[in-house]
Amino acid sequence: MSVSTSIRINQELYEQAKQDATVEHRSIAGQIEFWARVGRAALDNPDLPVSFVAESLASMAEARAQSKPFVPRSGRA
């Protein structure tokens, strides 16, 4: 069960979340939650590039039906 809470954020951050949410097909709240998860995971894993953390979290949220199987480079023709 998900519980929502209202918070105040800077208008500039809200506008950036609104723009990014549109591009990423997320709600504004979903975009801010994604940024928070990326930030938390990046702090927990300082040895990993933030872009890797963000891409990993995004892929984990992707529906399995949309995913592509991993094919190692050695297995490509």
What mean pLDDT do residues 33-47 have?
92
What mean pLDDT do residues 22-34 have?
93
What's residue 59's pLDDT?
A: 83
Q: For 67, list phi and psi in degrees, rounded to 5.
A: -80, 155
- The confidence band for 75, taking pLDDT boundaries of 50, 70 and 90, is low
List the one residue out of 53, 21, 13, 26 whose CA is nearest residue 37. Answer: 53
In eight-state DSSP terms, residue 46 is: T
The pTM of the full predicted model, rounded to 2 decimals, is: 0.69
**Which residue blocks in 1-77 are alpha helix, DSSP H?**
11-24, 28-44, 50-61
Higher pLDDT, 68 or 26: 26
| Percent with pLDDT over 70 in the chain | 91
